[in-house]
Structure formats: C-alpha cells, structure tokens
Structure 1
Amino acid sequence: MSYGSKKYRAPNVVFFDLETTGFDRPIRPVQIGAIDSWGANTYNQFVWPRRHVHPKATLTNKFYVSRGTLFRQGEGALDTTDLEDALYSFLDWLSSLGGNVVLVAHKCLDYDAKVLLRNLEEFNIPYEHVILGFSDSLLASRDLYPVAPSHKLSSMLGEVGLPIRESHDALVDADDCRRICRRMAGQRRLKFLDFVFDEKWYHTLDDQWEWTFPGGVVTV
C-alpha cells in the first residue's frame, strides 16, 4: 500500500492540537501541542498570537491577552514564542522525527489543519517537505461509533474505555487523541496505518490545501 505517497516511505504519524484565538479571523494558535504515535516524543509551545483572544474562546480554553502578554486563567503569564517563530519551531520538530508526517487531530480537516495551513501560507513558511497529509479522528469516531451519544474528544475517551477528562490543553488533548485512535483501531481490528489513512477521514496535503483554499485563493 502506498498510503498516498508516490514513492513509499514509512510515514510518521503525529497527533496534534491547536488552542486558538477563536472565532474571528485571522485565527491564531496560542498553544501548539503534539505527540508521536508511541507517546515517546512531545512538542508543547505557547504562542504569542499578535492579537486578542476572542471572549467566547476564552470561555472554553481559558486563554486571554492583556497588556501584550498571553495568560491562561489560574496560571498567570505564560512564556511564549512569537507566532512566526513558533510555526518554524513546530515544523523543525516534525522534521526531527524524520518528516513524511501525517498530522492527526480531532476535527482536523475542518479546523486544526485549516488554521495551520492558513498561518503557514500567510508567513510563506515552507511545509510541503515535511507534511504528507492529515487524518481526522472526529470523522473516524462518527463512522466507527455511529451510536455514541457524543463524538467530542472527552466523550470518546469514555466510549473507548478510557478515563474521561476535558482539559483544553493542546498537549493533553493531542495525547488523548492518540490514545483514542489507538483504541478505535484496536477495537475495530484495523491495522493502525490503515486506520490513519482511511479515505473517509484522510486528506493528502494537496487535498487539504484545496479544502482549505477553495478556488485556489489563499486566505487567512
């Protein structure tokens, strides 16, 4: 199986999550969290978004900006990296894993992947040499567990037999996504890579680019 690549190389599956400024564009990450498929390597970076956090987003993720500083409620000021530097840093970390990366997230295709690509394109940061495609655990959960009462990340933890928690921390959510996907694949007796690359919830990089920028017009 080629898993979407013209010349097969073993893909690196990485689970990620973006906590963001929320609802009005440009949507910026305020935290990038990621973990490899074995849970051995992690990335966690708070990001200076160069803008405010939408109040409705703050209600959910607890991040807010005040006087040029990023805060998370209950923690105080956060040590951040500037937006553009953080994007480069994330890609450097993915490259350090060997590149050829498939990024997996919950609601990936309609949110996390779009936010990531819009920001990378805006700052002209090359990523085609690192990212192979994107896979969406939310779409997978809807397909594989159609009678589950809810398919949000915290609910799916319970659905696959893991302790339920709802953190809205990017690294914790990325790891929860990883554990859910491992369980879903195992419970449905699917090979892990077959699960990740299922066409019902996987986009190649080209597919996702077209999904993010319909008509070929780059927007932020």
Structure 2
Amino acid sequence: MEDEKIGMFHNLLKESSNIVFFGGAGVSTESGIPDFRSATGLYSRRLSAHVSPEELVSHTFFERCPEEFFDFYRKRLIYMEAKPNDCHKALAVLERIGKLKAVITQNIDGLHQEAGSSHVLELHGSVRRNYCMDCHALYDARFMQASEGVPHCTRCGATVKPDVVLYEESLDMDVLDAAVRAISAADMLIVGGTSLIVYPAAGLLRCFNGDRLVLINKTATQADRKATLVIHDSLGKVFREAVDGLTGS
C-alpha cells in the first residue's frame, strides 16, 4: 500500500510547479539527530528537579541557569557530525529542477542548506549562527562547541547567545511572513516529520489555498483527514523513491 502511495506522490510532484515543504524534527532524525524531548532525564537528575525539555530551552532557564542551559545546548542540540539524509537531498533536487519554491523548517540544524537548498525559512533559527548579546559579533557552531560554561564574546566579553528561538520568545516575524506568503502561493504543500502540535508553526497549514496537501509522518497527525495523500513511512525512503525520475520532467 505504501509503495502505491509513493507512486501517487511521484505523480503529484510531476504535476505541480509551486511546491512548498514544511518539516519538523522527523526530517532530521534519519540523520541521527534525536528529538530533544526524548533526552532530559540526566539533566533533571543533575538539577535535583523535574525539568521539562521546554523549560530547558526556555528564555527563563537561559537567564536563570545559563551554565545548565549551555551544557544541555552543547550536548543535545548541536550535532555538527550529522549529514543530510535522502529527504534533505531530494528536496534540494526538487528546488534545482524548479519545482520546490521554499523549505519551511522547525529544525535548527542547517542540514537543508548543507544539502543544497537555498530558499530555507528557519522558523526557530539555527545552531550555526550565534551572536554577542552586546556588540552583535557573530560566531559559528564550532565556537559554541569549543566553549566552556557560558560562552563569552572575544571582543567585549558579553554572553554569546545561539540564534535560535527559545520557548517564551517570539518567532521572527519576517521569516513567519515569508512562510505565510510561500504557503499561500503554493499549488502543493508537503508536510513531513512533524506531529503538528507546536504553534504558531502548525497553524501555517491554514494558509494553504491549493488542492494538493501531502502528509508524510511515521504517526498520524491532526491534519490527516484534510490531506490529499497521507503516507506513514520513512521520509528518506519516500522522497528518494518519489523524486527518482523527475529530473527533466
């Protein structure tokens, strides 16, 4: 049944010319990057309290417990050894042949760009960008990885903060507006690797005016009943097989 659905997906891709992809954590788990929600026990015990993943990456925790925040951040959110998987690569191919107009991602790993995608809207920022909170000097992920404790700017000594959207912080309105415009203009929207429970990002689906909504996720989502096609399978496998043969079409 899933192979038949992949064939249907291939045909939808072939027929569409303004495709937008909206992805979540499931896109990068096949590159070895775990969903951070599954990795909190050690930190809860160390702090002698139950601290949820959302609290660990909240603005409040960043301000109140910066050493613990950066310890968690380095160990659980930076994966520089991770490489783009077949889903990332296939999306880059779809952009190269002129079908895919935008990738909208909730991920912060930068793997879409590494795979070759150029129009990537990062709703939650990126671990590959970091900045001094005072003088705004820029630092890369290697700097953060190599730092100890609270990272400090080599120019002015102030704290260097990841350019990621923490819980309690607002999304970048320019990025969000661009995502709304891209989805509104799309004739096909592909949603992959997300359970669609994190708002306001999940609400972006309401902006889609097209008639080809494809949901690819290992488990069911609240939007499945609205979709043209639902595939519960590996994103890498689905994209690898569906995009194969599209070049030149």
Q: TM-score range by the shorter chain?
A: 0.3 to 0.5
The structure whose residues are more often strand, as a share, is 1
Normalised TM-score (structure 1) = 0.33
